[in-house]
Amino acid sequence: MRGESLLLRRLGLADYEPVWRAMQTYTDERDESSGDELWLVQHPPVFTQGQAGKAEHLLAPGNIPVIQVDRGGQVTYHGPGQIVAYPLIDIRRKNIGVRDLVHRIEESLIRVLAHYEVTGERIPGAPGIYVDGEKIASLGLRVRRGCTLHGLAFNIDMDLEPFRRINPCGFAGLRVTQLSHFAEVTLEEVENRLVKSLQEQLGYSAITADRREESIT
């Protein structure tokens, strides 16, 4: 389905919980005429634990807060220098199944990495994208009333130490990497490429930019 525009909201650096609550509110209040949106944000350091998350995967969180959330998957880490993208999509209207949506988001990440001559790969049974077996992007979604919330986290240029305090995504010993290990990049440049890639993979004809940070934070 093309011909539909996607509203892009750049939220800057914003605490996790207010953004999460705003996603829930938007999803609960939207109707068949509500447009799809893509929120881009960086979060201050935080661990988020998915609905089926197991406590044993939190090894030593220390002074970083842990928030139990309503997405799929296990525990992950968010921090500055990581692109977090939340596609709020009416997948019933677009006639996209959940597996297809995951595949398209993963393909978007693979194509961004390819621009920097980095080969991103899928691993069966472990959503996200990997480079030489190390995870560079995580994916965790929730579908409510036929609409998605939550999304992806793409490591660009960040402190990776907190990932050692958890079993990332529930996998003991999983190594984590980031794009700055392979190429000279800026977060803004990669964000722009990711937006374009998501637009193409998800079938939107245009991106409309909006900045309403005050309604989130």
Tokens of 140: 């965790």
Say whether 147 is catalytic.
no
**What are the residues facing 85 on neighbouring strands?**
40, 152
Under 8 Å between Cβ of 72 and 126: no
CA distance 55 to 50: 11
What are the b/e assignments for 94-106, b being 16+ CB within 10 Å?
bebeeeebbebbb
CA distance 99 to 161: 31
Pairing of strands 66-68, 46-49: parallel
* Active-site annotation holder among 8, 141, 158, 169: 169
Residues in the chain, total: 217
The single residue listed with the structure tokens 């990669």 is: 190
Tokens of 128: 């996200």
Q: Order of strands, edge to edge, in the sheet holding 76-78?
A: 66-68, 46-49, 76-78
**Catalytic residue ranges:** 169
